Amino acid sequence: MDVLQLMDEWGPEKVVCVSDRRTGMKGVLVIDNTARGMGKGGTRMSPSVTVAEIARLARVMTWKWAGVDLFFGGAKAGIVFDPSSPGKEAALRAFARKLSNEVPREYVLGLDMGLTERDAAIVQDELSDRGAMMGAPAQLGGLPYDELGVTGFGVAEVADELIAQRRSSSAGKRIAIQGFGAVGAAAARRFAELGAVVVAVSSVHGALVDPDGLDVTRLLDLRASFGDLAVKEYGPVQALGAELRASCDVLVPAAMQDVIDADLAGELDTTLVVEGANLPTSVAAQEVLAARGITVVPDFIANAGGVVAAAFGMDARYSPFPVNPETVLDAVSSKLRANAAHIVVEARNRGTTTHVAARELAQERVLAAMKLRGRVA
């Protein structure tokens, strides 16, 4: 595609495509907008990564940082490679080397789909810089996001806050979660701690639906042993999509983008959608859900636990003192709860969807920074 077609009044400011013939690695870095700070965002590895996909996600990061009012810029990176390949480490090291001009001066990598805490350690080793990538293991002074489950934890905290705003409690509420990876699993754990009943989960291998509730502890134990196969090990699975159509009080799409269109939005049997994944609903779906009275917490508000944690990591990346995980979780909870409640009120006051209200608020903050820096008149 023509990269120039990706550019608008917000960005991207820089698109860097790299490749390595020896490993077969191809990759892209998109720095979208740095008016509020240097580029910071996750790096994903998948055989299907495209420039357009990464640009789209980098824009989400611009709004996400501004939405939580933290001073970093939107950026994202992607590596076209199979994360299950034995050549993963070599490809990752090649990717890091190729971006040594940008990392960590202009962009700091984070964890996303296909990468783990060990991969963060590898990038730090390749560039001989603890500040090159966030999410490294605690043994290397990092803040282990996946182990803490900060994003999924934040998703559950957001749901709990909006339930409380309705003068109710999460205890006994039915939760359906699409995806049982790092975000979905952590969300399920926190929902169970809050007394909610998880009635559906899914992975690429199928969906589990039980109106009486699934055994979250058993599911988490199975995930520790079998990964994505946990759902099949738990019991008979249904076709994917059953988890989205399950009757529930809270639906958490926490897998991939573009999973809920306008037609499916008209079928959902829920009162609250909390977007754990990036870009899971279409604009048309958001309008349908709003018309049906179903509250939606936008992705860059609901799943911002990772960026709050990343801000702690960025602040401490060269410090010899470890970050206190409890401090991080407390900050994720307070920041995301307040933001989610604020966006629901803003949407009501502006007479629009929560997505539009949240994006307008983020854009106002980014535009103000662009004006102060003299980037726009």
Contacts of 302 (CB under 8 A, 6+ apart): 154, 155, 158, 274, 275, 276, 336, 340
Q: Are 309 and 70 in contact (CB under 8 A)?
A: no
Q: State the catalytic residue, choosing from 76, 88, 173, 335.
A: 76
Pick the CATH number of 3-61+75-141 from 3.30.70.270, 3.40.50.1370, 3.40.50.10860, 3.90.660.10: 3.40.50.10860
150-304+339-359 and 3-61+75-141 share a CATH fold: yes
The pLDDT tens digits of the residues spanning 178-202 come to 999 999 999 999 999 999 999 999 9
C-alpha distances out from residue 170 to 52, 224, 285, Å: 38, 26, 26
Give the model confidence (pLDDT) of 237-291 as tens digits. Answer: 999 999 999 999 999 999 988 999 999 999 999 999 999 998 999 999 999 999 9
How many angstroms separate the first and last alpha carbons of the chain? Answer: 31
Q: Domain boundaries in the chain?
A: 3-61+75-141, 150-304+339-359
Q: What is the dihedral of CA 98, 104, 108, 113, to 10 degrees?
A: 30
Handedness of CA 298, 112, 219, 151 (dihedral sign): negative
Active site residue 88: no
Fill in the amino acid letter for 139. Answer: Q
The Cα 214–Cα 229 span in angstroms is 16
Residue carrying the six token digits 């995980």: 325
Q: pTM for the whole thing?
A: 0.88
What is residue 41's predicted lDDT score, i.e. its pLDDT?
94
Specify the CATH number for 150-304+339-359; select among 3.50.50.60, 3.40.50.510, 3.40.50.720, 3.40.50.10070.
Answer: 3.40.50.720
Cβ–Cβ under 8 Å, residues 243 and 177:
yes
